[in-house]
Amino acid sequence: MSDAVNWSYGILNCYGVNRSIFEVDRPITQRIFGIEVSKERFDEVWSDLHEKLDGWFPKFNNGYELYLKNGSDWEKVDASEMESTLDDWEKPYEAWKDMPQEAIDYVKSLPEFDAEIFKRITGLHDKKHTITIDGKEIELSEESLEALKKQLI
């Protein structure tokens, strides 16, 4: 028995295998930002993240809109009407732009968090601005900078 095997041959008792020849007893592993974690840790993060996403998911095409338009029935969706929402499949950032801030903050709070991986996948990153007051540098997020601008105007 093996599961999730692609482009492989001679595989026995392996899970999550791609491009392997004659491999055996490869266990299921869970990873967060490339770091192997326990099943319990993975399940905890998965559950918490999906709670914070509150039904949101990245939209790479208009399929979900067509699904809703057709009475939430995938069988009624005409696949020929599906179109990509991305200009460049190598940079799928447009699909992630509306990720809920609560979910972003949660992901960034994880001890496994890797900013470069997150940015590479989502295109999302902290836009920090530095201002100097009385010779002291203060780092502000984009949101803090906007709030400060509103107070000054």
Measuring CA to CA, which residue among 63, 122, 125 is closest to residue 96? 122
Look at residue 97 and tell me whether its pLDDT is greater than 70. Answer: yes
Q: Is 105 helix (H, G, I), strand (E, B) or coil?
A: helix
Is the pLDDT at 58 greater than 70, yes or no?
yes
Percentages helix, strand, coil for the chain, rounded to the nearest 5?
40, 25, 35
pLDDT at 114: 92
Q: Which two tokens stand for residue 105?
A: 């903050």
- pLDDT of 137: 79
107 burial via Cβ count (<10 Å: 0-12, 13-18, 19+): buried
**pLDDT at residue 126 tops 70:** no
Q: What is the DSSP letter of 10?
A: E
**Cβ count within 10 A of residue 60:** 15
What does the alpha-carbon distance between residue 64 and residue 103 come to, in Å, rounded to a whole number?
21
What pLDDT is stored for residue 44 in this prediction?
A: 97
pLDDT at 78 (0 to 100): 92
Least confident of 20-24, 64-68, 85-89: 85-89
Structure confidence at residue 38 (pLDDT):
95
d(Cα 40, Cα 48) in Å, to the nearest integer? 12
The answer to whether the CB of 56 falls within 8 A of the CB of 45 is: no
- pTM score: 0.69
pLDDT-derived band at 128, boundaries 50, 70, 90: low
